[in-house]
Amino acid sequence: MSRPSQSGTPQTVAQAGAMAAAAPQAAAAAAPATKKRRRPHLHVVVFLAPAVLIYTAVMIFPLFNTLRLALYTRIDQERVWAGLANFQTLFFDPIWSEQFWNALGNNFWFFLVHMLVQNPIGIALAALLSHPRLRFAALYRSAIFIPTILSFVIVGFAWKLILSPIWGIAPSMLDAVGLKSLFAPWLGKEEYALTTLALISVWQFVGIPMMLIYAALLSIPEEVLEAGEIDGITGFAAFWKIKLPLILPSIGIISILTFVGNFNAFDLIYASQGALAGPDFSTDILGTFMYRTFFGFQLQLGDPHMGSAIASAMFAIILVGVCIYLFGIQTRMRRYQL
């Protein structure tokens, strides 16, 4: 396989989404020159049909149907048009809005912890790993990536056990370094639980920014670094002044991936704290809130229409985030031709 020469060719899978916006111009420009434009033949239809049908039927149609369902409500087993009443309830009815804003706020905090902890650690690990002549790099890389492949259920329970005051691994380890007084049942305290879960999620997913940044760092040509060395820029300075600006596009992609992933998160909270996102909803995020609402829990019956309204809100948030990234950040970011 040849190396892509133009900067428009995606470097990572993750960039795929980002590239979608740039694709039309490129494709439109390339099309008339290289390929013959003709009417679809039967075999083209046969090639496309299964993918387009499944994708449309199971992904796109339900997505819009969910947005539509948010505009209805159920009265006596009948589905009736409700306009924006569900959203009005969600945003302004005290019972609902309190939960919604709580979940949204928690979700933002969850995202912030990832941005402030996961991505810097990922970048630092990648910087270490990409060092030339570092031995065992492949071994470290594979080992650090292991948590990322585990399911949320395993991660959630494993940490729940380790942090449990009953088992006492965490307190006795803190005791060993003389910090026992710092121990608290972190997952059981309202003020710490969400941050603890966010850090567990960071622990699990640090491998992804690490790998993507690592790939970006490897693609920096040696000549650029050597030119810096001649000018006396080495070590840390080389990282800050040469490498970091060059990997900014990858950092942008990681940020948007983190954003979409976090505002769609559910599994970790559900696996470790249950659908009620305890203690006292302090770890409730949009995913768990939507699950509870539409599926029901304990004595409350599920309400698919309110669930759809929450899903629509999540859709809007993700859409706004992706648009900010695509039009506000990605297009303005300076890309260097390497």
| Of 146 and 333, CB closest to other proteins | 146
Q: Identify which of residues 30 and 191 has a Cβ nearer to other proteins in the complex.
A: 30
Interface residue with other proteins, options 5, 6, 43, 178 (CB under 8 A): 43
Can residue 171 be called a binding residue for other proteins (CB under 8 A)?
no
Which two tokens mark 172? 């006795």
Residue 80 binds other proteins, judged by CB under 8 A: no
Which residues, 6+ apart, have CB-to-CB distance to 178 below 8 Å?
none
Q: Do 314 and 259 form a contact (C-beta atoms < 8 A)?
A: no
In order of 69, 86, 91, 137, 310, the CA distances from 303 in angstroms are 11, 11, 16, 51, 11
User: If DSSP codes are grouped into helix, strand and coil, which group holds residue 234?
Assistant: coil
Q: Report which DSSP code applies to 232.
A: T
One-letter amino acid of 127: A
Q: Which segment (83-91, 97-105, 177-185, 302-310) binds other proteins by CB under 8 A?
A: 302-310
Could you tell me the CA-to-CA distances from 163 to 154, 170, 185, 274, 283 in Å, in that order?
14, 5, 7, 17, 16
What mask of x and - would describe binding to other proteins in positions 192 to 221, judged by CB under 8 A?
Answer: -----------x--x----xx-xx--xx--
Smallest distance from other proteins to CB 185, Å? 16
Q: Which is nearer to other proteins, 12 or 99 (CB)?
A: 12
Counting contacts by CB under 8 A, is residue 29 touching other proteins?
no
- Alpha-carbon distance of 326 to 337, in angstroms, equals 20
Would you give the DSSP letter of residue 300? B
Tokens representing residue 95 in the block? 């019972």
Q: Which two tokens stand for residue 31?
A: 């099309």
* 60 contacts other proteins (rule: CB under 8 A): yes
Minimum distance, C-beta of residue 167 to other proteins, in the bound complex (Å): 6
Select the span of 20-28, 92-100, 178-186, 188-196 touching other proteins (CB under 8 A).
20-28
Cβ proximity of 121 and 199 under 8 Å: no
Smallest gap from Cβ 324 to other proteins, in A, equals: 12
Among 115, 117, 141, 282, binds other proteins (CB under 8 A): 141
Cis? peptide before 40, omega within 30° of 0: no
| Binding residues among 215-274 for other proteins as defined by CB under 8 A | 215, 218-219, 229, 234-235, 256, 260, 264, 266-267, 270-271
Of 170 and 193, which has the nearer Cβ to other proteins? 170
Which listed residue (83, 112, 116, 167) binds other proteins by CB under 8 A?
167
**Interface with other proteins includes 172 (CB under 8 A)?**
yes
Indicate which single residue of 109, 192, 239, 295 sits in contact with other proteins (rule: CB under 8 A).
295
The SS3 call for residue 273 is helix
